[in-house]
A and B are shown apart, each in its own frame.
Chain A
Amino acid sequence: MTVFTEGVNCYTQQYTVDRRDMGNTIVLKGGQDVAGDDLVATVHDEEAAGTYGHRIKVISESQWTTQVLCELRALQLLQNYKEPEERITIEATSEEPVSVGEEVSYTSTTLDIDGVFQVVSVTYDYSEDTDLVIVELSSRTADLAEFLVSIMRNLERR
């Protein structure tokens, strides 16, 4: 896992906390089971609700066709959405390449952050004078659409 440490191999440009898309009660509307019944799984995180207020998020994913799968997926989603999203933009000075979707470690003493984040986007600016790598990190797992947008953006830059 790539390690970014502020002041060592990166500089922090900005730090964002976003609670718009948060949910500590996840209602997953799945598909139908073999009996043809609609599947719904609801999970809560009481601690997160006590910290941020009770937030409900309804998600539809019809590919889940058993209650167990629905519940497992709901828990996965809960883990992803139960707290506000943290986004960090850093200027990396290391030569080590990182890829969109990769998990990296990031430590900042000024922001009091020490955790694992996912790379949302990477921007390379090469010139004769400088090689600038801007990496955007997120505490939340990016979905496929975000990956596609990032890949397209990088392809356009090349």
Chain B
Amino acid sequence: MATQTRYLTNDSITNNGLSCRYLSTSQSSAAGSNGIVYGVGTAYQVGIRVWKRSSGGTETEITSGTPVAQVSRSVAGEGIQSATWNCQETALDEGDSIVVRVYHKFSNQETWTEANTWQTEDLPGDKLNAITWTIYYYTRYVDLTSGWFHYGSSTYNSRIENFQYTVLYHKTLSVTEASVCSFVRNIGKTLSVVASASPEVGGTGVFKTLFKALEAFAFGLPAISHILGSTSATITFTLLDDLGSPLVGKTVTFTTSHGSLNPESDVTDVNGQVSTVLTATTMGLAIVKAVWAGDATNPRTFETIEVSVHDNVDSPDPSKEYDVWVQGQKISDPLIVNVVESGSECMVTVETDDTDHAIEQGYDYAIYRRGIKIFMGRIEVITKRIAPDEIIKFQGRSFIQTLLWIPIATASYTAQTLKTMIESIISTYVDPLKQVAQGTISPHLDNITATVEETDTTAYDLLQRIARLGGASLFVNKDREVNIV
């Protein structure tokens, strides 16, 4: 959940097909104003209307057609005025932004005049929360004939406080740039349970179950940013039996390797779902684990999900030949950046003597060339060279690695085109996890029909097998899209 102050700045933004002023989390330095002139001295009134705007440019008004949070100035003067508005809960889709238009008029006018329009970037949240906004307007009433709305500086500090939205899930590196943040959506996490007569096979902590237990395994890798000081993500797990039916009324406990969880346990509802909220104030990688102890019928089971908490949003330097960002922190002057693309894999190795920033296993990292992102991946190998100089080398693959962790118990396709199979695999096993999105699937794969049966495999292996049947290659690009061409 993110609670913010959104400033009516004098900066510009072009987003979702609309160019306007930026409703930003920080105030601009140069002030702006809009005024109206009227011949008769009456009260000067200001209010706002609010919309959500989709990536396609469609606006849906959240207010109800007339300005809300109105303030009024009936004598000459200027200064900050405030009013409140109860924002209603509003679902947000991928790429949605919030548009706020300020209107003003004189009290004896019937028609409101639009002063200006402000818009946020795409919000990385799933819903705008029901909460009371406080809107601060800097108004000026001159000689009882003209009214002015000022904004855009610390003096003319017009703003909205308590602007709040809930972040349910992000993809791993989504927070690093607004366009990817739009992928942020619900990820159902499944704890499947299968009957097993003898769950204990090995030592402590090791138990046996069937592979089917992971059939619906959701390897969610959301990313959140604590740029606001503290942030949180809601995580939902689903407990199912071996037939896929929800287990109701079961207590699931949660633990995390980073940040804190509230609650630390929850009881499954009618859908077998339990939820907890992860809160983190520092960057890191949180492995959130849910455990159900089992009962006489079903064995103990667990599942994990990884939440990547970035320090900040990457802000690459366009003047730099190469810019390296790890978990939202800039790595100073990397010594070597080696990018290797070979077949399905894109691997990037970075050497640096920058020991000031934390470089840890599992952190997201991005490579920019002259400000343009050329790679995003996750650190898998870290080498610390001790002598003669202390140098850290880290290496990782693109997000193709996430396909490796998606198990598929059984897949059976009879006399279907390769393209149909690929799309089915992606929609059934990959899409719900929101790790990578479908990119380009070569049309020629629609001309090849085959029968494929596979058990106990992974999304990566199955997609690779089908791709090879059509002489195609599988890769995941910097935008985390699965391409088979």
Beta-carbon contact of A52 and B287 below 8 Å:
yes
Interface string of B370-387 (1 = CB under 8 A from A): 000000000011111111
> At the interface, yes or no: B255 with Cβ under 8 Å from chain A?
yes
Instruction: Find the residue from B202, B209, B302 having the highest chain A CB count within 10 A.
Output: B202
> At the interface, yes or no: A19 with Cβ under 8 Å from chain B?
yes
> At the interface, yes or no: B294 with Cβ under 8 Å from chain A?
no
Beta-carbon contact of B208 and A41 below 8 Å:
yes
> At the interface, yes or no: A31 with Cβ under 8 Å from chain B?
no
Beta-carbon contact of B211 and A42 below 8 Å:
yes
> Distance in Å from the Cβ of A12 to the closest Cβ of chain B?
5
Task: Collect the chain A residues with CB atoms within 8 Å of residue B303's CB.
Answer: 54
> Given the known A-B contacts A49-B304, A53-B304, A84-B361, are A11 and B208 also in contact in the complex, defined by CB atoms under 8 Å?
no
> Distance in Å from the Cβ of A61 to the closest Cβ of chain B?
13
> Given the known A-B contacts A11-B387, A16-B383, A43-B201, are A75 and B206 also in contact in the complex, defined by CB atoms under 8 Å?
yes
CA distance A18 to B207 in the complex (A): 25
> At the interface, yes or no: A109 with Cβ under 8 Å from chain B?
no
Task: Collect the chain A residues with CB atoms within 8 Å of residue B387's CB.
Answer: 11-13
> Distance in Å from the Cβ of B300 to the closest Cβ of chain A?
8
> At the interface, yes or no: A58 with Cβ under 8 Å from chain B?
yes
> At the interface, yes or no: B322 with Cβ under 8 Å from chain A?
no
Closest to B397 in A: A20
Interface string of A122-140 (1 = CB under 8 A from B): 0000000000000000000
Beta-carbon contact of A42 and B381 below 8 Å:
no
> At the interface, yes or no: B298 with Cβ under 8 Å from chain A?
no
Please report which residues of chain B, range 205-256, place their CB below 8 angstroms from some CB of chain A when the two chains form the complex. 205-211, 213-214, 217, 219, 255
Beta-carbon contact of A110 and B386 below 8 Å:
yes
> Given the known A-B contacts A14-B385, A27-B456, are A56 and B214 also in contact in the complex, defined by CB atoms under 8 Å?
yes
Task: Collect the chain B residues with CB atoms within 8 Å of residue A14's CB.
Answer: 383-386
Beta-carbon contact of A13 and B386 below 8 Å:
yes
Beta-carbon contact of B208 and A19 below 8 Å:
no
Task: Collect the chain A residues with CB atoms within 8 Å of residue B384's CB.
Answer: 14-16, 111
Interface string of A36-67 (1 = CB under 8 A from B): 00001111111101111111101000000000
CA distance A2 to B201 in the complex (A): 34
Beta-carbon contact of A56 and B385 below 8 Å:
no
> At the interface, yes or no: A103 with Cβ under 8 Å from chain B?
no
Task: Collect the chain B residues with CB atoms within 8 Å of residue A78's CB.
Answer: 202, 206
Beta-carbon contact of A19 and B205 below 8 Å:
no
Beta-carbon contact of B362 and A42 below 8 Å:
no
Closest to A108 in B: B386
Closest to A12 in B: B386
Task: Collect the chain B residues with CB atoms within 8 Å of residue A56's CB.
Answer: 214, 217, 404-405, 407, 458
> At the interface, yes or no: A149 with Cβ under 8 Å from chain B?
no
> At the interface, yes or no: B478 with Cβ under 8 Å from chain A?
no
CA distance A47 to B304 in the complex (A): 11
Beta-carbon contact of A45 and B206 below 8 Å:
yes
Beta-carbon contact of A40 and B302 below 8 Å:
no
CA distance A41 to B214 in the complex (A): 13
Closest to B285 in A: A53
Instruction: Give which listed residue, B208, B213, B380, B457, contacts A20 with CB less than 8 A.
Output: B380
> At the interface, yes or no: B257 with Cβ under 8 Å from chain A?
yes
Beta-carbon contact of B385 and A13 below 8 Å:
yes
> At the interface, yes or no: B291 with Cβ under 8 Å from chain A?
yes
> Distance in Å from the Cβ of B440 to the closest Cβ of chain A?
26
Beta-carbon contact of A19 and B407 below 8 Å:
no
Beta-carbon contact of A75 and B202 below 8 Å:
yes
Interface string of B176-211 (1 = CB under 8 A from A): 000000000000000000000000011001111111
> Given the known A-B contacts A12-B386, A19-B361, A53-B362, are A58 and B458 also in contact in the complex, defined by CB atoms under 8 Å?
yes
Mind listing 8 A-B residue pairs with CB under 8 Å?
A: A12-B387, A19-B361, A20-B401, A44-B209, A46-B205, A49-B289, A56-B217, A58-B461
The 5 closest A-B pairs by CB, nearest first: A16-B383, A50-B289, A54-B304, A14-B385, A18-B381
> Which residues of B are interface residues toward A (Cβ below 8 A)?
201-202, 205-211, 213-214, 217, 219, 255, 257, 287, 289, 291, 302-304, 306, 361-362, 380-387, 397, 401, 404-405, 407, 456-458, 461
Other than the known A12-B387, A13-B387, what 8 A-B pairs have Cβ atoms closer than 8 Å? Answer: A14-B386, A27-B456, A44-B302, A45-B205, A46-B289, A50-B302, A53-B219, A54-B304
